[in-house]
């Protein structure tokens, strides 16, 4: 049955009423326990069901752990011992290790805190009455996906708008810088034209000293030299 246009749940074919109510009804009931039930369910109806071998009991115990793991990921040893009807922790840990090697579940035994931490477990068959719950769960999941997708699209749109704004701002700054360079160039040319001088010549004149400056500096040096020579003559006469 299609749900939300995307998720698909297939309903199983109806079970034959003759098999459920006929002479093989105990075997059929045992089959349904292996499909959906737990070891505790078997013990509750053991008087009306075929006996199980030790290997079959352990198989049903493995499936019972899977059922518990679907509800909680950290299962206390006390719950497992009660549900699986095991005598001690050693038997429980051996059973869990067997289940791990059989790839029924993956996890770790926390002996310090006396619990089984499940990371993964296989799936079990589902009852017909559970289909409505699964359908509702899948519908909620699809709706959640739509919400997440809408949020992502909104974030992408905002990011694109921000990018466009930054590009426009960058172009505006580059345009203002270019205009400023043009303005400085025009101003410099206008100032040079006002003094009827070439800009390069104007800069050269600023670097060169004004006329007469060198002559004054030379006369000062000459007078200082004459003074030094005169003082030398006076010193020699006195000696």
How many Å apart are CA 128 and CA 132, to the nearest integer?
8
User: Residue 177: CA atoms inside 13 Å, Cβ hemisphere, count?
Assistant: 6
- pLDDT of 136 above 50: yes
Q: 203 exposed, middle or buried (CB, 10 Å; 0-12, 13-18, 19+)?
A: exposed
Q: What is the mean pLDDT of residues 163-188?
A: 91
**pTM, full prediction:** 0.56
- pLDDT of 8 above 50: no
- pLDDT of 202 above 60: no
In order of 142, 211, 218, 229, the CA distances from 136 in angstroms are 10, 102, 107, 119
Q: What is the mean pLDDT of residues 144-153?
A: 94
Cβ(58)–Cβ(36) below 8 Å: no
pLDDT of residue 226: 52
14-47 tens-digit pLDDT = 455 566 677 778 888 899 899 889 999 999 999 9
How many Å apart are CA 10 and CA 55, to the nearest integer?
32
Of 3 and 86, the one with more pLDDT: 86
């Amino acid at each position: 049955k299609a749900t939300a246009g995307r998720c698909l749940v297939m309903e199983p074919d109806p079970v034959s009423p003759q098999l459920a109510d006929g002479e093989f009804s105990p075997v059929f009931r045992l089959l349904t326990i292996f499909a959906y039930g737990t070891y505790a369910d078997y013990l509750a109806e053991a008087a009306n069901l075929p006996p199980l071998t030790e290997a079959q009991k352990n198989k049903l115990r493995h499936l019972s752990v899977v059922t518990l793991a679907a509800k909680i990921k950290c299962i206390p040893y006390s719950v497992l011992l009660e549900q699986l009807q095991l005598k001690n922790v050693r038997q429980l840990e051996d059973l869990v290790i067997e289940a791990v090697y059989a790839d029924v579940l993956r996890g770790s035994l926390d002996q310090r805190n006396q619990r089984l931490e499940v990371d993964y477990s296989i799936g079990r068959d589902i009852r017909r009455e559970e289909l409505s719950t699964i359908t509702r769960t899948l519908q909620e999941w699809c709706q959640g996906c739509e919400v997440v997708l809408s949020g992502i699209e909104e974030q992408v749109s905002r990011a694109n708008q921000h990018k466009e704004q930054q590009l426009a701002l960058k172009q505006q700054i580059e345009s203002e810088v270019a205009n400023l360079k043009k303005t400085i160039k025009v101003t410099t040319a206008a100032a040079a034209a006002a003094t009827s001088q070439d800009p390069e010549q104007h800069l050269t004149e600023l670097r060169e000293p004004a006329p007469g400056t060198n002559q004054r500096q030379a006369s000062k040096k000459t007078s200082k030299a004459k003074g030094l020579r005169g003082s030398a003559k006076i010193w020699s006469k006195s000696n």
